[in-house]
Amino acid sequence: MLRFDVISLFPAYFEPLKHHGVSRRAFDSAQMQLQCWNPRDFTTDAHRTIDDRPYGGGPGMVMLAEPLERTLDAIAAARQQAAQPAAPVWLFSPTGRRIDQKLVEDLAQSDGATLLCARYEGVDQRLIDRRVDTEISLGDFVLSGGEIPALALLDAVSRLLPGVLGCAQSAQQDSFSSGLLDCPHYTRPEVLNDQTVPEVLLSGDHARIAQWRREQSLRLTLRRRPDLLVQMLSTQSLSKRDLQFLSAMGYTP
């Protein structure tokens, strides 16, 4: 079972994940467990202070190390009491590694993680140096806190678990799972505002359909994310036929 412990000042963010949509199935099937921890519960003053002004001056506030340290100790003790293995601590930070499908797939095969959702200007660096194993980011932009990236990561992991999606192949065909962007998809009606479904998808020829979808993925990736093709070339993940198709489109490795 995947266990996630989330440290957040706003634990209510995470309730919908457990009760709605596809991710709900991961919790209903007990394949995934989520427990939220509010660091205010581990403060020692009457005001439940969680932040303070930064040394050296400047705008904003910085999250205090001590309440977070006590929160992490409580999580470690809870996991040990439940006979669950220790888990790495991941901090959501704009300076971290960007989340990608490989990271999500690796996490889905693990025992889970402790997810630290920072707020304000961030976390006292001494806490990061002592207790954080990995810093991760949703992208090259700044959010008010780590809750939205945490939700995105948990949702991405949940859909890879057995039985969570209606069809296991859905996850395998998603964008990035093969290294490429996904191909376009069509459904009924066959004609919509004078636009028709591509003939090959109506042919019943599964080999032709598979090749068309592969070529559409290659075409879309070349147009929008050519950096992904560079990665696939470095891992020799493109077939000779893929390279011939890309070459005909003017792509030069």
Catalytic residue numbers, as ranges: 94, 121, 159, 174
Q: Tell me whether the omega of the peptide bond preceding residue 189 falls within 30 degrees of 0, making it cis.
A: yes
Distance of CA 75 to the CA centre of its chain: 22
Taking the C-alpha atoms of residue 250 and residue 5, their distance in angstroms, rounded to an integer, is 48
Q: Would you give the distance in Å from CA 252 to the centre of its chain?
A: 32
Query: How many Å apart are CA 138 and CA 220, to the nearest integer?
Result: 22
- Tokens 């140096």 belong to residue: 129
Single out the residue of 40, 50, 44, 46 nearest to residue 121, CA to CA.
Answer: 50
